[in-house]
């Protein structure tokens, strides 16, 4: 039987044990995908004594079947589309544009809520540990990788608790390293691999970001 994580906290703690080579590295930052990836990323950043920041990407869900990702969008307009599903279902560009417009509004709202007046981190020449709570189709994480590559990082390490084996293998070609704890087959969905996969709130994201900043400030003093 494939391992089941208790919650995102446990998943992050387990991932952190696989990333100890990056502990206390001044050139390294942990980036969590909002919202579900942030509790996982928080545990990694805490264990490795690294700064924590966020990447906001929105899934483009098929109307009426929102869990089915036909792609993803990032804040600067980067789109990653699942051409196979789009072609199979005959989804028009007008439908995709309408979904993307709606999701971009929510993306901008979250960006303002989570970051406020705080500046974006300078990622040029940095090693990024990109974290999510799991990968299904790969559309969302690919959008995040696309936006982060524009920042000219030194290295991108992708860290996730669970992903389909085929997606895990494909992503190895897109980043410098992939750390994934389990690759169950058949996959079904990410939530099946957690006892508690309840939705992460805006308040929890802000709380964890603030806690991480306070912990680093305390350590540096």
Better-scored residue on pLDDT, 119 or 220: 119
Q: pLDDT tens digits, residue range 192-209?
A: 999 999 999 999 999 999
Weakest mean pLDDT among 27-36, 67-76, 142-151: 67-76
Better-scored residue on pLDDT, 50 or 57: 50
Please report the domains of the chain, with CATH numbers, ordered by start residue.
Answer: 8-57+116-220 (3.40.50.2020)
Better-scored residue on pLDDT, 96 or 62: 96
Q: pLDDT tens digits, residue range 90-111?
A: 999 999 999 999 999 988 888 8
Q: In this predicted structure, what is the pLDDT of residue 179?
A: 98
The DSSP bridge pattern shows strands 127-131 and 79-81 to be: unpaired
pLDDT at 150 over 60: yes
pLDDT at 219 over 70: no
Find, among 123, 129, 214, the residue nearest to 178 by Cα.
129
Q: pLDDT tens digits, residue range 63-76?
A: 888 777 888 888 76
Find, among 85, 78, 79, the residue nearest to 137 by Cα.
85
Q: pLDDT tens digits, residue range 163-194?
A: 999 999 999 999 999 999 999 999 989 999 99
Q: Torsions phi, psi of 36, nearest 5?
A: -60, -25
Residue 35 near residue 202, CB atoms below 8 Å: yes
Better-scored residue on pLDDT, 8 or 139: 8
pLDDT band at 130 (very low <50, low <70, confident <90, very high): very high
């Amino acid at each position: 039987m494939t391992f089941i994580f208790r919650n995102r906290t446990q998943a992050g703690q387990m991932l952190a044990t696989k990333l100890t080579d990056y502990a206390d590295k001044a050139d390294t930052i942990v980036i969590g995908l909002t919202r579900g990836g942030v509790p996982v990323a928080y545990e990694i950043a805490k264990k490795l004594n690294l700064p924590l920041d966020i990447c906001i990407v929105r899934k483009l869900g098929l109307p009426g079947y929102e869990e089915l990702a036909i792609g993803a969008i990032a804040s600067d307009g980067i789109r990653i589309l699942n051409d196979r599903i789009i072609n199979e279902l005959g989804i028009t560009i007008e439908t995709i544009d309408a979904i993307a417009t709606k999701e971009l509004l929510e993306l901008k709202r979250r960006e303002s809520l989570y970051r406020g007046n705080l500046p974006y981190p300078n990622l040029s020449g940095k090693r990024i540990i990109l974290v999510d709570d799991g990968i299904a189709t790969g559309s969302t994480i690919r959008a995040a990788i696309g936006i982060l590559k524009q920042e000219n990082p030194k290295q991108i390490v992708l860290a996730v608790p669970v992903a389909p084996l085929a997606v895990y293998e494909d992503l190895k070609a897109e980043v410098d390293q992939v750390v994934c704890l389990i690759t169950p087959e058949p996959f079904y969905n990410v939530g099946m691999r957690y006892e508690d996969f309840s939705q992460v709130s805006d308040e929890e994201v802000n709380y964890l970001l603030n806690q991480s900043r306070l912990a680093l400030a305390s350590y540096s003093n």
